[in-house]
Amino acid sequence: MKLFPLALIAFVATICEAKIDRNQPHDHTGKLTPYSPGPFPNLELTSKDEAELAQGKPVMKQSQGDGNSGGAICVQDINAPKAAVWNQILDLGMYTKKVGKVIHSSNYHVDKSDENAKKIKTKMVLGVIPGYSYESYYDHTFYPHQDSMTWTLDYEKTSDMDDVSGHWHLEERDGGLKTRVFYACDISLKGSVPGPVLNYLSKAALKSATSWVKKQSEENAADFHVAKEYGYKVTASNAGEVAEPVTGRGFFGRGGAVFRHGGAFVQKSKTGFTRMFQF
């Protein structure tokens, strides 16, 4: 068994040469330690990390959990409020149009009855290279009041991956105008894996997971409808919203409307919020 940190929500690990009854239980009920919602413990960012994040670049860190848990974490700053970022992450059924190499994504069970923990089970198929399409079933839990989502395999179904444990966590930045995203996904792979597939799963996928969220969130910074459907309470802070628009000539230019936000003027456009000047 090989264990690799990973980054994309839809991963699998072996080629299915024979017909598989996906409704049969997985061959175990979990090998990897599940993540807990909330901030990643013992994660420290250096001044160099902060400089990289300020330039819009992802930063890779190592998390140390209890016992044998822990793995690679990708950190990314996004020029959009938390509600807009959750709107993209929670829109699991639309990943085929947003996430590279995901060729199928559909929710087969959604339970929103618990206001503290929303359950979402999703079938995803990943096509890494031609001829290699992998299918897995994921059991997500979204914690709207903790700004976290964790997931494992759905062990009531048979997946091509041996095991998975993942975690999204969001933190507000710049008074709600921006979001810092933390992402981790550890996977256990079955059997031997072709070199190009292994290279993608162990290296490229982690960074690509936050890059697509950054792109989609910044392009749709005022869209919160999916987040609201899952019980995420959109507030003035997590939506990046501010007080009444500033009125008067010159305050509604080509870049979008200007608002007061604390001690600053900010401009809201389709790509997010930009701090103009302090007062």
Residue range 166-203, pLDDT digits in tens: 999 999 999 999 999 999 998 887 877 777 777 676 66
Confirm if 202 and 4 have CB atoms less than 8 A apart.
yes
Mean per-residue pLDDT for 251-277?
A: 51
**Tokens 């200007």 -> residue:** 258
**pLDDT on residue 192:** 77
Strand partners, 272: 269
- Name the pLDDT band for 209 (thresholds 50, 70, 90): confident
Each domain of the chain, given as residue ranges in start order, spans 71-230
Mean per-residue pLDDT for 205-212?
A: 84
3-state secondary structure of 237: coil
Tokens of 165: 């444990």
- Name the pLDDT band for 241 (thresholds 50, 70, 90): low
The closest alpha carbon to 6, from 171, 273, 241, 186, belongs to: 186
Mean per-residue pLDDT for 47-62?
A: 93
Among 11-15, 91-95, 254-258, the range scoring the smallest mean pLDDT is 11-15
Mean per-residue pLDDT for 240-256?
A: 48
**What pTM value is reported for the model?**
0.80
Of residues 58 and 66, the one with the higher pLDDT is: 58
The closest alpha carbon to 181, from 206, 151, 152, belongs to: 206
Query: How far, in Å, CA of 277 to CA of 279, rounded?
Result: 7
Of residues 196 and 69, the one with the higher pLDDT is: 196
**pLDDT on residue 14:** 38
**pLDDT on residue 256:** 55
Residue range 34-51, pLDDT digits in tens: 999 999 988 999 999 999
Query: How far, in Å, CA of 142 to CA of 166, rounded?
Result: 12
Domain spanning 71-230: CATH 1.10.3470.10: no
Among 24-33, 69-78, 145-154, 269-278, the range scoring the smallest mean pLDDT is 269-278
**pLDDT on residue 133:** 78
**pLDDT on residue 42:** 86
Average predicted confidence (pLDDT) for the chain = 81
* Residue 3 clears pLDDT 70, i.e. is over it: no
* Residue 140 clears pLDDT 60, i.e. is over it: yes
